Amino acid sequence: MTPNNLHHHRCWQPRRNLHHTKGLTLQKLRSLKGSRQLIVSTHNANVPVLGDADLVVTLEADGQHGRTVADGVGSLDDPTVSAAVEK
């Protein structure tokens, strides 16, 4: 599966070949942004930054339960959200 047919699939996981697809993936995310709602889950803080995310929801977990980080929801322009993403 390639970024070119991303819109035909519910879940696309390029992790196996991330080195080769990162640029194309982020380019595709930016191009789809205006016409689709995208929900992306990542451990890589560069994805929301380089993918030009409008809304970031930072999560944490204790091994049993997940929850949003206090002050970790919003725009990357908000210093508290940026700090939560950088942790």
What pTM was computed for the model? 0.63
44, 48, 71, 78 from 74: Cα distances, Å? 17, 12, 8, 7
Mean pLDDT over each residue of the chain, to the nearest integer: 77
Q: Answer with the residue of higher pLDDT: 76 or 49.
A: 76
The per-residue pLDDT for range 55-64, each reduced to its tens digit, is 999 999 999 9
Is the pLDDT at 10 greater than 90? The verdict is no
Q: Which residue has the tokens 């322009």?
A: 77
Q: Is 82 exposed, middle or buried (0-12, 13-18, 19+ CB in 10 A)?
A: middle
Note the pLDDT of residue 13.
54
Alpha helices in 36-78 (DSSP H): 46-50
Note the pLDDT of residue 73.
95
